[in-house]
Amino acid sequence: MAERVAGPEIERLIQLLARLPGLGPRSARRAALHLIRKREELLGPLADAMQVAHSQIVTCSSCGNVDTVDPCTICADARRDGSTIVVVETVSDLWALERSGAVRSRYHVLGGTLSPLDGVGPDDLNIGNLVERVSSGEVKEVILAVNATVDGQTTAHYITDILSHTQVKLTRLAHGVPVGGELDYLDEGTLSAAIRQRTTF
């Protein structure tokens, strides 16, 4: 453990910063000093932005996204196609898809994946809400955009099961060669999928 090297206020700042992903004790000290050096341009505004985020950010009761309004901007956007729901594991996956510009429909954030070993069951995920949204009748297609991991695929199968009695179309993301990817570096599973799901020129 690092010894106390500064006053309790600075120490507390360092300890809290060290809990951010990507920052360890050493880089948290560097970040704290950077903030202190840039008191007016960075520390003050960041403190304000965090206060605003803390007091205003809520989880969307419909889709599980985070925003300052409930329902969130995406759920409230009438220009979006409400007949398709893209199911993602986390808000960062939602952000990644939004950045790609590939999705102009609505989302549903599960908040994780089923993981019996970690004690995560269906009730710990935002699944009941998804069944409700699908049952409302407006939804025609559910795209299961979960990660291509064991837990992700288990979760996808579970959701497929519980939605099987509905009329909704269930689809999943294509497997294949990433854009810019080199075949030599790809695993066999990806290559097999890319061959099987080949498309015509």
Q: Which residues bind its own copies (CB under 8 A)?
A: 2-3, 5-7, 9-10, 12-13, 16-17, 19-23, 27, 29-36, 39, 42-47, 49-54, 56-57, 66-69, 73, 90-92, 94-95, 98-99, 101
Q: Where are the alpha helices (DSSP H) in 2-143?
A: 8-17, 25-37, 44-56, 73-76, 91-100, 128-135
Interstrand relation of 58-59 and 66-67 (parallel, antiparallel or unpaired): antiparallel
In the bound complex, what is the minimum distance in angstroms from residue 149's beta carbon to its own copies?
Answer: 18
In the bound complex, what is the minimum distance in angstroms from residue 57's beta carbon to its own copies?
Answer: 6
In terms of CB distance, is 3 or 161 closer to its own copies?
3
In terms of CB distance, is 36 or 148 closer to its own copies?
36
Dig out the tokens for 118 from the structure. Answer: 């970690």
In terms of CB distance, is 74 or 163 closer to its own copies?
74
In the bound complex, what is the minimum distance in angstroms from residue 136's beta carbon to its own copies?
Answer: 25
In terms of CB distance, is 41 or 132 closer to its own copies?
41
DSSP per-residue letters across 154-200: HHHHHHHHHTTTSS-EEEEPPP-PPTT--GGGS-HHHHHHHHHT---
**Could you tell me if 134 and 76 are in contact, meaning their C-beta atoms sit under 8 angstroms apart?**
no
In the bound complex, what is the minimum distance in angstroms from residue 26's beta carbon to its own copies?
Answer: 9
In terms of CB distance, is 55 or 199 closer to its own copies?
55
Which residues pair with residue 172 across a beta bridge?
144
**Could you tell me if 125 and 114 are in contact, meaning their C-beta atoms sit under 8 angstroms apart?**
yes
In the bound complex, what is the minimum distance in angstroms from residue 160's beta carbon to its own copies?
Answer: 27
CA 127, 189, 192, 84: dihedral to nearest 10 degrees? 20
